[in-house]
């Protein structure tokens, strides 16, 4: 049984849609204004660039195949003067979507196929608005902290807790999970004799690694049955959403690599950036082991927690493919030599 979807506030957010088909723009205008958004529709992509340059918009819905320039060129120009605009790309067909490398390079937050129904697009817009709302809150926090260096540490920890509680309110599983990932990451960092600064980053990054789930629709996040391919694709957006939420606050810069890259795999098959080996930030490689260990040893609605011997075998099997082999080796040694500490963490946060 699914839990209800909470409505996303739309008042005050400005959306600009760019499509050289006037009928699409008119349909979006009716649909989004009816949903409560302040909407501007434009058919000329060059005019759209100038409007974004001179006016504030929170989110852009952008067609890919247009004349005189395609959507990727529009984004390329906009990113020269605006790094914050949340952009959703529309494609006539999946085969006509720009290369994944282009989407990453231009920081396009999502895309979907055009359809007569706007249900999927509305879900993406709602996710984007949630992300923008959180990003704006962090900007405000960052401005308030300017010149208050003596209170920075306290404000930093309080702001983390505030956002963390927002995620936990959506997904009860995240509560204990994030605590345990934080503690396991610190345990690995200490075993590897990392600096106090790195240990602190691991602790906070672990608590915060799933913050991007606040931008995932509740209908997907709280679904009790298996996700379909499209839903799983949206879940995979949470590291990028989390990094986007945090990107404008200087105080969060150290933990962003953990937030964004804790689902990368050592062999380059992970997400969101398909980084491999040493290209994956070192602390994110540690968090990846801690995150997977907790997932395997936690009870889910569809399975019990896996036995320790099975978990250890799986970590060994994935060493060098999913996990950094040195970190996997260190964690296996922790499981052999310091398992009492693991049990203490599980008792504390279960």
Task: Retrieve residue 80's tokens.
Answer: 């020269």
Report the candidate in 60, 107, 69, 115 with the shortest Cα–Cα distance to residue 88: 60
206: buried, middle or exposed (CB in 10 Å: 19+, 13-18, 0-12)? buried
Task: Retrieve residue 161's tokens.
Answer: 């807790």
Supply the pLDDT for residue 3.
39
**Domain 14-129 -> CATH class:** alpha beta
**Where do the CATH 3.40.50.2300 domains begin and end in the chain?**
14-129
Q: Find the catalytic residue in 11, 117, 200, 213.
A: 213
Q: What is the mean pLDDT of each run of 10 residues along the chain (350 residues)?
A: 42 86 89 87 94 93 88 90 89 69 81 76 87 85 66 67 72 77 97 96 92 84 80 90 85 92 97 96 98 90 84 97 98 96 92
Residue 42: phi and psi, rounded to 5, are -135, 140
Our answer to whether residue 213 is catalytic in this structure is yes
94 half-sphere exposure, CB direction, 13 A CA radius: 1
Residue 266: phi and psi, rounded to 5, are -60, -30
Maximum C-alpha span of the chain: 67
Supply the pLDDT for residue 301.
65
Q: Report the alpha-carbon angle 267-273-276, nearest 5.
A: 25
Supply the pLDDT for residue 251.
75
Supply the pLDDT for residue 7.
44
User: Regarding the domain with residue range 151-349, which homologous superfamily does it belong to in the CATH classification?
Assistant: Hypothetical protein af1432 (1.10.3210.10)
Q: Tokens 């693991």 appear where?
A: 342
Predicted TM-score (pTM) of this structure: 0.59
Supply the pLDDT for residue 257.
97
Supply the pLDDT for residue 193.
97
Supply the pLDDT for residue 153.
63
Residue 346: phi and psi, rounded to 5, are -65, -40
């Amino acid at each position: 049984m699914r839990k209800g979807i909470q409505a996303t506030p739309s008042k005050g957010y400005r959306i600009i849609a760019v499509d050289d088909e006037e009928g699409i723009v008119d349909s979006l205008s009716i649909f989004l204004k009816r949903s409560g958004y302040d909407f501007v529709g434009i058919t000329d992509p060059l005019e759209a660039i100038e409007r974004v340059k001179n006016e504030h918009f929170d989110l852009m819905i952008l067609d890919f195949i247009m004349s005189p320039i395609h959507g990727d060129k529009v984004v390329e120009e906009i990113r020269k003067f605006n790094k914050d605009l949340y952009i959703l790309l529309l494609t006539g067909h999946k085969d006509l979507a720009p290369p994944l490398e282009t989407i990453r390079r231009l920081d396009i937050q999502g895309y979907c196929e055009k359809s007569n129904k706007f249900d999927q697009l509305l879900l993406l817009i709602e996710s984007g608005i949630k992300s923008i709302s959180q990003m704006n809150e962090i900007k405000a926090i960052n401005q308030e902290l300017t010149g208050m260096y003596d209170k920075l540490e306290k404000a930093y920890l309080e702001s983390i807790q505030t956002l963390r509680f927002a995620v936990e309110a959506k997904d009860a599983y995240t509560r204990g999970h994030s605590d345990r990932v934080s503690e396991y990451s610190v345990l690995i960092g200490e075993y590897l004799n990392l600096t106090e600064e790195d240990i602190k980053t691991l602790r906070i990054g672990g608590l915060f690694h799933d913050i991007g789930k606040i931008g995932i629709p509740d209908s997907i996040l709280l679904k009790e049955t298996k996700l379909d391919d499209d839903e799983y694709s949206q879940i995979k957006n949470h590291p990028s959403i989390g990094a986007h939420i945090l990107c404008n606050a200087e105080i969060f810069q150290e933990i962003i690599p953990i937030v964004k890259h804790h689902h990368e795999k050592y062999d380059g098959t992970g997400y969101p950036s398909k980084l491999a080996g040493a290209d994956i930030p070192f602390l994110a490689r540690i968090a990846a082991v801690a995150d997977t260990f907790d997932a395997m040893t936690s009870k889910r609605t569809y399975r019990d927690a896996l036995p320790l011997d099975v978990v250890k075998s799986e970590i060994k099997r994935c060493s060098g493919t999913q996990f950094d082999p040195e970190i996997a080796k260190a964690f296996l040694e922790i499981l052999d030599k310091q398992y009492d500490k693991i049990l203490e963490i599980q008792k504390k946060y279960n």
